[in-house]
Structure 1
Amino acid sequence: MRFSKLQLFAEAVQGKKIIYLYRVKEESATEDAMQLAFTTENGRTKSKDADSTATKDGSIRTPGVAEVEITATSILSKGDTLIEKLETALDNDQLLEIWEVNLEEKGTTTNSGKFKGMYFQGFLTELEKTSNAEDMVEISLTFGCNGNGKTGYVTVTAEQQEAADYVFTDTQKTGA
């Protein structure tokens, strides 16, 4: 089996090292961005309609703008204020700010102390609360983003970095 140089030195990024931070846009002067407690899964999908159409002058119209959707699933924490803020934003059509941060990609020189990330603005389009009698309450969120997002470097507090190192685990035995 042959490996390329990239494969020999590549390191995989663990899912817990990609975090998402959220804030209601109109609170940007008074509130820091927050992350969900006990996140179990995050996702970002970028899609574009690939249909091309011929115009009257014979030219081909290419696909439109990409659509970005961000999803998050977490276990509900007692006293969680972020979920309340996000639900209120959904009810009131408030614009949200969302940061996707890769904690494995630290900034250098002018971005020292920051992490590579993407910034989005958009709306919470779906909130689902699932409460099975035998499990923890689970919150699933879907965000529709405006535009493609912007890349840059993001400030992440030490507390937020520590939270990313922990994955929610129940108290029951996990096996052998």
Structure 2
Amino acid sequence: MKINLQMFAEAVQGKKIVYLYRVLSEAKTENGAALAFTTENGRTKSKDADSTATKDGSIRTPGVAEVEITATSILSKSDKLISKLEDALDNDSLLEIWEANLDEPASAGNNKFKGRYFQGYLTELELTSNAEDYVEVSLTFGINGDGKSGDVTIPTAQQEVASYAFADTQKTGA
């Protein structure tokens, strides 16, 4: 008798996959930061393939994989990260992007999670403002290469955004 162990796997909630961003030239002075009020992220990996007709049928030759990361968020007042990212788009500045799964803690270190690291460019920024909703920002990043797997440090504050921590009834400040 075979048991399908996949049936017992838990699904990952979307809010547990987080993305952090940084302009590469600021790596010595700034930490990676998350967009405020993110509503959606996505990562797409695609590959074109060429076909060559032969007497025995067609042969497919795969091309190079292309990776694209997208993010949508509600614009936060005085959002410095969106301004930095827009400046990076205007100046063709290389960006760093980390993707981390908060449901998969790394084996070593506090606040470390399994994830991926990417470098690429912001290729599209769209600001949408309609009369009935908040202002929405949509970003598209074109990635160099296909990223590297590793452990990503996610500050406690960012983890709490994804799943707030228990707080007691006692005063927390002085």
**TM bin (shorter chain):** 0.7 to 0.9
Cα–Cα, structure 1 residues 78 and 65, in superposed 2: closer, same or farther, change >3 Å? same
Identity of aligned residues (%): 72
Which residue is equivalent to 1:136? 134
TM-score, normalised via structure 1 length: 0.85
Which residue is equivalent to 1:32? 31
Q: How does 1:64-75 map to 2 (within 5 A)?
A: 64-75=63-74
Tell me if the contact between 2:120 and 2:144 (Cα under 8 Å) persists in the aligned partners: yes
Q: Is the aligned partner of 1:81 residue 2:45?
A: no
Task: Report SS of the residue matched to 1:63.
Answer: strand
Tell me if the contact between 2:111 and 2:155 (Cα under 8 Å) persists in the aligned partners: no
Which residue is equivalent to 1:145? 143
Tell me if the contact between 1:111 and 1:153 (Cα under 8 Å) persists in the aligned partners: no
Letter in 2 for 1:74: S
Q: Deviations over 1:76-131 (max 9, x none)?
A: 001110000000000000000001110000011x3553100010000000000001
CA separation in 2, counterparts of 1:141 and 1:80?
14
Q: Is the aligned partner of 1:98 residue 2:97?
A: yes
- TM-superposed CA distance for 1:63, in Å, is 1.5
Instruction: Work out the number of aligned pairs and report it.
Output: 159
Q: How does 1:1-176 map to 2 (within 5 A)?
A: 4-7=4-7, 9-53=8-52, 62-108=61-107, 110-165=108-163
Runs of at least 5 residues in structure 2 that lack an aligned partner in the other structure: 54-58, 165-174
Tell me if the contact between 2:49 and 2:60 (Cα under 8 Å) persists in the aligned partners: no
CA separation in 2, counterparts of 1:62 and 1:112?
44
CA separation in 2, counterparts of 1:160 and 1:10?
25
- Give RMSD over aligned pairs: 1.9
Letter in 1 for 2:45: K
Letter in 2 for 1:147: G
Task: Report SS of the residue matched to 2:158.
Answer: helix
Letter in 1 for 2:136: E
- TM-superposed CA distance for 1:64, in Å, is 2.0
- TM-superposed CA distance for 1:4, in Å, is 1.4
CA separation in 2, counterparts of 1:111 and 1:78?
34
Task: Report SS of the residue matched to 1:21.
Answer: strand
